[in-house]
Amino acid sequence: MKRLLALTLLALGACSAKGSAPAAPGVSLLRDFSIAETAAGISHWRLDSETASMDEKKGLIHFSAPRIHFYDADKVSSEITSRTGFLQMYKKEVELTDDVVVNAKKDGMLLKTTKLYYSSARGKVWTDEPVIIYRDRTVIRGRGFTANPDLSEIEIKHQETRMGGT
């Protein structure tokens, strides 16, 4: 947790909101924002955003166009993008909304949904919303799922699978 807070403070010092409207008291407006979680010098994930606003009292950072990279042995294992989202700093939990896409680099899978949650403590992504997973010519639809961020272990509720023809 101390690392996350330290990274947040470093990011605040590195970001500027020149030309932006004044923020409400206790809210910082940020551009080209980046925050990461590391342990023993190894990156677990990094979140980048075009713009963000941090409400220090609530411990929330709201993002526009966030992009989260998850790492496995210093290589990007997956990337999650959306239009908006927020991070609860003290819980290290993220909620992403609007056109959420998970791109699992190793397996070539692509997941699409409208809302996705990530918990650093659990190391999982999940949603109760409809999901569509694409892999080669296979399309899997479901409502609700839980998975590792790289989609290596997936549990889909209410699943329907269709195989593409040759």
- Render 1-49 in DSSP notation, one character per residue: -HHHHHHHHHHHHH---TTPPPPPTTEEEEEEEEEEEEETTEEEEEEEE
* CA dist list (Å): 162 to 35, 91, 126, 140: 38, 38, 22, 6
- Is the pLDDT reported for residue 157 higher than 80? yes
**Do 89 and 74 meet the contact criterion of CB atoms below 8 Å apart?**
no
- Residue 38 one-letter amino acid: T
User: Is 62 inside a domain boundary?
Assistant: yes
- pLDDT of 56: 87
Does residue 86 lie in a domain region?
A: yes
**35-80 residue pLDDT tens:** 888 888 888 999 999 899 989 889 999 999 999 999 988 899 999 9
Distance between CA atoms of residues 81 and 124, nearest Å: 16
Q: Residue 13 has what pLDDT?
A: 43
pLDDT: which is higher, 149 or 30: 149
- Contact 105/85 with Cβ under 8 angstroms? no
> What CATH number is associated with residue 68?
2.60.450.10
Q: Domain tally for the chain?
A: 1
Residue 9 resides in a domain: yes
pLDDT of residue 66: 96
Tell how many helices (H) and how many strands (E) occur in the chain.
Answer: 1, 12
Domain-embedded: residue 22: no
For the segment 89-126, what is each residue's pLDDT rounded down to a tens digit? Answer: 889 899 999 999 999 998 899 999 999 999 999 999 99
Q: What is the DSSP letter of 56?
A: T
Residue 20 lies in a domain: no
Q: Higher-confidence residue: 90 or 23?
A: 90
**What number is the average pLDDT over the span 13-36?**
66
Classify residue 40 as left (phi > 0), alpha (psi -120 to 50) or beta: left
CA 154 to chain centre: 17
Structural domain boundaries enclosing 136: 2-15+27-163
Determine the average pLDDT of the residues in 21-36.
Answer: 76
Q: What is the pLDDT of residue 62?
A: 94
The answer to whether position 53 is within a domain reads yes
Sign of the C-alpha dihedral, residues 39, 45, 51, 56?
negative
Q: What is the mean pLDDT of residues 154-164?
A: 81
pLDDT at 33 over 60: yes
> Does 2 or 164 have the greater pLDDT score?
164
How far is the C-alpha of 31 from the C-alpha of 49, rounded, in Å?
A: 8
Answer whether residue 10 is part of any domain. Answer: yes
Does residue 21 sit within a domain?
Answer: no
Q: State the pLDDT at residue 15.
A: 46
